[in-house]
Amino acid sequence: MELSKLLTPGGVRVVGQLTSKKRLFQELGELVSSCCGLSSSVAVDGLQERESLGPTGVGHGIALPHARLEDLDRIVGVFIRLEKPLDYDSVDRQPVDLVFGLFAPKDSGVDHLKALALVSRTMRDQSVLAKLRANTDPAKLHAILTESRAPQAA
């Protein structure tokens, strides 16, 4: 599994400022709707349902909100870089500026977990994070996220 299969160039956006996690989820829903045709409201509901189980802010300014949805036939990802970090209730209580949303079919099973592990590994790479934070061009952000890397253990 490769990020280039999950994340299309149209699935990357830079956003100036959002006022809440709910607004961030709406932005993720609009983004996945525009690039993948998924209903924005279905995506937002799925993210909120998953978030109610526990925060997906993993620390170091990174959030990995994700949801399993009925209306999907493949796993898709979207990425938002926030110019102004957002309070997200992360595990380290730090605001979030890099958000990778992942949407999987309801019955995706282990493939959803593999995709989440791949995204998590990528978002833990300090050189990737530095490049993401130094760029505001969606095309460059997409290239940074999808460039080939040597596989690593989860």
Catalytic residue numbers?
66
Exposure letters 58-70 (e unless 16+ CB within 10 A, then b): bebbbbbbbbbbe
3-state DSSP assignment of residue 58: strand
3-state DSSP assignment of residue 94: coil
C-beta of residue 71 within 8 angstroms of C-beta of residue 92: no
C-beta of residue 59 within 8 angstroms of C-beta of residue 92: yes
